[in-house]
Amino acid sequence: MIEVKDIEKSFGDARILKGISTTFEEGKTSMVIGQSGSGKTVFLKCLLGLFTPEKGEIIYDGRPYSGLSDDQRSDLRAEMGMVFQGSALFDSMNILENVMFPLRMFTKQSKSEMADRADEVLKRVNLEDAHKKMPSEASGGMQKRVAIARAIVNRPKYLFCDEPNSGLDPRTAIVIDNLIQEITEEYNITTVINSHDMNSVMEIGQKIVFLKDGVKAWEGSNKTIFKTDNEAVTNFVYSSDLFKKVRQMYLEERQ
C-alpha cells in the first residue's frame, strides 16, 4: 500500500502539485488521469522517489519516505518496477539480457539464477521463445511485454506504468491492460498507472485519481466514473462523441 498525504511539489515559482492525498492499495490497478500539464507525471516521479515533495509525506507499507536513510531508500527502489512509456529497452541487449538487467543491478544472484528468473517471467508474459531476439526485431506489443517482464523480474511490491499503451493498436492495448491487471492481482502488487487511454481507464481502473491543475479534482473507480457530476471529469473522460454516447446509454439504463 502507498499512502500519499497532502504532498506539494514546486519548481521555482511554479506549483505543480498542490496538496494531493490518496491511497493506492495492493492487488489493485490504480489509474492517474488528467490533461497534459495536470501534474500526473510529476506525481508519478514523486511516488518513484525521483522528486522529493516540499511538503507532505509518501508512506510505503508503513515506511515514510522522508524518514528513510539513503540505504533504506535504495532498498525501497529495489522493490519498485517501472514500465516506461516507450518501453526503454536497451538496443544493445537481447530480450533475455534486458529482463535480467534489474537482477544484475539489485541482486547478487549468479548468472544462471538470473537467467532462470528471467526465463520464468518471460514465460509469464508469453514470450518464452523470444530470448535471443533484439528489441529491434520485436513488435510494439512484444516490446511492452518485455518491459513488463523486466519490471516484475525482481518481484516488486510496487509497479509503476507510464502510458503503457502508448503507440499500440486497440487490440494489443487490451492484451497489455489485461496482463498488467492479472500480474497485479496474481502477485498482490500495488500498481499505479499514468494514462490518458480511456479504454484502459474503463477496463482496469479499479481506482481512478483525476488531477486538474495540480489538485486531486476527483477520485473513484471505473464503476463510479459514469455516475459523477464533476464537470471537469466528464469533460475530460467524455471528450469524444463515442464516450458521450456510452455515458448517455448508461444513464438511460439506470433510470
8 A C-beta contact, residue 105 and residue 153: no
Mean pLDDT over 215-232 rounds to 89
Mean pLDDT over 212-241 rounds to 85
Q: Between 191 and 230, where is the model more confident?
A: 191
249 class by beta-carbon count within 10 Å (0-12 exposed, 13-18 middle, 19+ buried): exposed
Model confidence band, residue 44 (pLDDT cutoffs 50, 70, 90): very high
Round the average pLDDT of the chain to a whole number and report it. Answer: 90
pLDDT of residue 246: 67
Alpha-carbon span 49 to 80, nearest angstrom: 10
pLDDT of residue 225: 85
- Is pLDDT above 80 for 251? no
Cell of 166: 502508448
Q: How many CB atoms lie within 10 A of CB 235?
A: 11
All domains in the chain, ordered by first residue: 2-225 (3.40.50.300)
pLDDT of residue 116: 94
Q: Is the pTM here over 0.85, yes or no?
A: yes
pLDDT of residue 153: 94
For 33, the enclosing helix (H) or strand (E) is strand 28-33
pLDDT of residue 170: 85
Q: What pLDDT digit, counting tens, does each position of 174-190 carry?
A: 989 999 999 999 999 99
